[in-house]
Amino acid sequence: MNQKRNRLTVIHDILRVIQKKNSKIKPTHIIYKANLSHAMLEEYMKEMIEKGFVEEQKQKKGKTYSLTEKGFNFLKEYKTITAFLESYGLGD
């Protein structure tokens, strides 16, 4: 990837990875598939849980993440959101 991804694109990429894994995925998979560092994942996951896009499930062997309804809606509306933000220069 040549260009630096903006915050919204990273969130979209993470949610897509979770969606592709049938909405249940371990953090290490997200790091690998969404091309993130561990610190970045922690930061983004905290934000996405706060925004209600993702839910965290504590397991015996670590934790997994799944999409919420709001997360699914975000993915569905992503193109429209970015088109609106771009038109008014409201991106990162």
Partner 1 sequence: MGYLFATPSWFFGIDIALELAFAVITLAVGLYSYKVYKLSGKNQVKTFSIAFSLISVSYLIQSITNFLILSKLNENVCRAFNIASINTLNNIGFYAYMLFFTIGLLTLTHTTLRSKNERIYPLMFAVTFLAILFSTNQLYIFYLLASTLLTYMVWHYFQNYIKNKQTKTLIVLVAFVFLLFGRLHFLVSVNHSLFYMIGHFLELVAYILILINLILVIRK
Structure tokens at 10: 């990273």
Among 21, 33, 47, 49, interactor with partner 1 by CB under 8 A: 47
CA atoms within a 13 Å half-sphere pointing along the CA-CB vector of 7: 9
- How far apart are CB 43 and partner 1 at their closest, in Å? 14
- How far apart are CB 38 and partner 1 at their closest, in Å? 23
Cβ proximity to partner 1: between 32 and 46 the closer is: 46
Give pairs for 27-31: CB < 8 Å, separation 24+: 27/62, 27/63, 27/65, 30/65
Which positions touch partner 1 (CB under 8 A)?
Answer: 8, 47, 51, 70, 73-74, 77, 79-81, 83-90
